[in-house]
């Protein structure tokens, strides 16, 4: 006679074991019990029949970064002798169920091929999963009847998985929000901490304990609403001069991106991977000869300096301008460096009636950069390395757009064009030979 195993699972999580859905997404704040419930439900299902279960997260440098320890603790708590806990996997010695653990970042389709036979994949800390990782993982989990379980505490409005799945519930998708007050097993101590947090800071309470994303205005430079509005078609054409921003790839997985903008209308982006300095310079040369831009601003820090030197040697010194993101701002009293200054000019441009290409990657990058201030109260942005660590890639597209706002440039005519493409002071300078600046 088999032994009876009692595993308690809170009511909101019963669909994990009782409902067949391709995707089961649970989100909410601290104390909701998502991790414990997922671990218990998977251990229970792994007792019923042989399964291959993958526990994945965006970054897993060592097994300590995974839910291996949590599953081991729950096995000990319930005295599940059927399971043997090994260094890098957990195996049911009676029916062959296996738990494996993987990180997704920098994994290509070939390296992640071992997940093709997975029955259930559990994505923990899913708010950190990048769009690229999801696009590799989702089609890899292809076995008939396979399921993707997702647990997340929402961090931002544009968390990639939330954008892709959170507002698209259908017959194959289950989405449940669970907070501490929905969890009958939530410790009294956590409830007291939630109460104290609410009394001192409601916005922090709503983020930590209710699972709501961080307020855009609290730490973001650019509000998502501005970007969404800018991506709606509204400008048929622009007569403003062409300005190009060029962000040169610094690392192997970065992209080299050209942004083409005319006044209030951002026309297009061109992106390339794994191009050397000569190849990038050749692309820029072709754009200069065919598009006739008034100015090209390029990131001249690091490897970008090589591209700048090549273009200068080719006789384009009147068109190109090198920009170092970390150098002094033009307006030193307001901005800590050129990068903060360019990005803030971009933010101001977005408050006008402007148009951007409707591109998901561009949207994510524009909405992700966090602002702060230095000791003098000047605007300073989150470091590019910090952003890359947080979202899994560099803001190459958005940086290329920001570069088009590096500084005012001068046309040979008599009209000043500002960043929004608006013509100003034209009448005053019609009879003058003075040159006026063009953003």
CATH number for the domain spanning 26: value is: 3.40.50.300
Q: Are residues 93 and 148 in the same domain?
A: yes
- Backbone region of residue 301 per phi and psi (left: phi > 0; alpha: psi in -120 to 50; beta: other values): beta
Q: Are residues 151 and 17 in the same domain?
A: yes
Domain membership of residue 218 (yes or no) is: no
Q: Are residues 150 and 282 in the same domain?
A: no
DSSP 326-369: TS--SSTTTBSSHHHHHHHHHHHHHTSS-B----HHHHHHHHH-
Domain count, the chain: 2
Two tokens, residue 52: 């291959």
Domain end residue (candidates: 176, 208, 240): 208
Distance (Å, whole) CA 318 – CA 312: 9
DSSP 85-153: E-SSEEEETTT--EEEEEE-TT--TTTTGGGTT-SEEEE-SGGG--HHHHHHHHHH--STT-EEEEEE-
CATH number for the domain spanning 279: value is: 3.30.420.240
Domain membership of residue 4 (yes or no) is: no
DSSP 21-77: -SEEEEE--TTS-HHHHHHHHHHHHHHHS--EEEEEES--SSGGGSSHHHHHHHHHH
Q: Are residues 85 and 194 in the same domain?
A: yes
Helices 277-291, 304-313: axis angle to 10 degrees equals 50
Residues 6+ apart with CB under 8 A from 127: 152, 153, 154, 155, 156, 159, 161, 162
Domain membership of residue 26 (yes or no) is: yes
Distance (Å, whole) CA 410 – CA 418: 11
Q: Using alpha carbons, select from 415, 417, 410 the residue that is nearest to residue 429.
A: 415
Domain membership of residue 213 (yes or no) is: no
Residue 215's pLDDT is what?
A: 60
Distance (Å, whole) CA 274 – CA 303: 12
Distance (Å, whole) CA 162 – CA 287: 37
Domain membership of residue 419 (yes or no) is: yes
Q: Are residues 193 and 235 in the same domain?
A: no
Domain membership of residue 214 (yes or no) is: no
Distance (Å, whole) CA 395 – CA 398: 6
Residue 3's pLDDT is what?
A: 73
Per-residue pLDDT of the chain (439 residues; tens, 9 = 90+): 467 788 889 999 999 999 999 999 999 999 999 999 999 999 999 999 999 999 998 878 777 778 999 999 999 999 999 999 998 999 999 999 999 998 887 555 556 667 888 999 999 989 888 888 888 899 999 999 999 999 998 877 778 888 888 767 788 999 999 999 999 999 999 999 999 988 888 878 888 899 888 765 557 888 888 898 999 998 888 888 999 999 998 766 678 999 999 999 999 999 998 888 999 999 999 999 999 999 999 988 776 678 999 999 999 998 999 999 989 998 888 899 999 999 999 999 998 889 999 988 898 899 889 888 888 888 999 888 888 877 777 899 999 999 999 987 655 443 333 343 433 333 323 333 334 344 5
Q: Are residues 381 and 324 in the same domain?
A: yes
Domain membership of residue 359 (yes or no) is: yes
The pTM for the full model equals 0.58
Q: Are residues 34 and 149 in the same domain?
A: yes
Q: Are residues 360 and 429 in the same domain?
A: yes
Distance (Å, whole) CA 146 – CA 165: 17
Q: Are residues 131 and 238 in the same domain?
A: no
Query: 291 is in which domain, residue-wise?
Result: 224-438
Q: Using alpha carbons, select from 106, 117, 124 the residue that is nearest to residue 251.
A: 106
Distance (Å, whole) CA 367 – CA 408: 25
Q: Are residues 252 and 321 in the same domain?
A: yes
Domain end residue (candidates: 150, 178, 208): 208
Q: Are residues 64 and 171 in the same domain?
A: yes
Residue 414's pLDDT is what?
A: 35
Q: Are residues 181 and 244 in the same domain?
A: no
Domain end residue (candidates: 149, 173, 208): 208
Beta-carbon count within 10 A of 185 CB: 11
DSSP β-ladder status, 52-57 and 98-103: parallel
Domain membership of residue 219 (yes or no) is: no
């Amino acid at each position: 006679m088999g032994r009876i195993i009692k595993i308690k699972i809170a009511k909101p999580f019963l669909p994990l074991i009782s409902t067949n859905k391709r995707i089961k997404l649970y989100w909410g704040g601290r104390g909701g019990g998502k991790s414990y419930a997922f671990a218990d439900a998977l251990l229970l299902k792994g007792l019923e029949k042989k399964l291959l279960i993958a526990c994945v997260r965006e970054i897993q440098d060592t097994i300590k970064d995974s839910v291996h320890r949590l599953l081991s603790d729950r096995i000990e708590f319930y005295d599940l002798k059927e399971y043997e806990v090994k260094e890098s996997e957990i195996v049911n010695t009676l029916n062959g169920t296996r738990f494996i653990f993987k990180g997704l970042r920098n994994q290509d389709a070939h390296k992640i091929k071992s997940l093709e036979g997975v029955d259930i994949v559990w994505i923990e800390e899913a708010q950190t999963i990048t769009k690229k990782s999801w696009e590799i993982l989702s089609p890899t989990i292809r076995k008939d009847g396979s399921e993707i379980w997702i647990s997340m505490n929402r961090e931002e409005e544009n968390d990639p998985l939330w954008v892709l799945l959170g507002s698209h519930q259908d017959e194959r998708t289950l989405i449940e929000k669970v907070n501490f007050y929905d969890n009958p097993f939530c410790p009294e101590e956590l409830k007291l901490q939630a109460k104290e947090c609410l009394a001192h800071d409601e916005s922090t309470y709503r983020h930590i304990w209710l699972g709501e994303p961080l307020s855009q205005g609290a730490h973001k430079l650019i509000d998502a609403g501005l970007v969404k509005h800018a991506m709606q078609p509204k400008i048929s054409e622009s007569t403003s001069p062409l300005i190009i921003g060029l962000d040169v790839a610094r690392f192997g997985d970065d992209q080299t991106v050209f942004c083409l903008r005319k006044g209030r209308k951002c026309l297009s982006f061109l992106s390339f991977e794994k191009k050397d300095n000569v190849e990038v310079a050749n692309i820029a040369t072709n754009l200069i000869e065919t598009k006739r831009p008034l100015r090209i601003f390029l990131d001249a820090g690091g490897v970008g300096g090589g591209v700048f030197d090549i273009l200068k040697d080719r006789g384009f010194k009147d068109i190109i301008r090198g920009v170092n993101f970390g150098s002094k701002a033009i307006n030193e009293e307001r901005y800590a460096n050129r990068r903060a200054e360019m990005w803030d000019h971009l933010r101001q441009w977005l408050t006008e009636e402007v148009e951007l290409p409707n591109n998901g990657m561009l949207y994510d990058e524009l909405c992700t950069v966090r602002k702060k201030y230095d000791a003098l109260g000047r605007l300073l942005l989150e470091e590019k390395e910090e952003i890359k660590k947080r979202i899994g890639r560099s803001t190459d597209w958005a940086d290329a757009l920001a570069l088009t706002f590096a500084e005012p440039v001068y046309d040979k005519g008599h009209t000043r064009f500002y960043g929004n493409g608006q013509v100003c002071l034209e009448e005053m300078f019609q009879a003058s030979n003075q040159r006026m600046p063009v953003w």
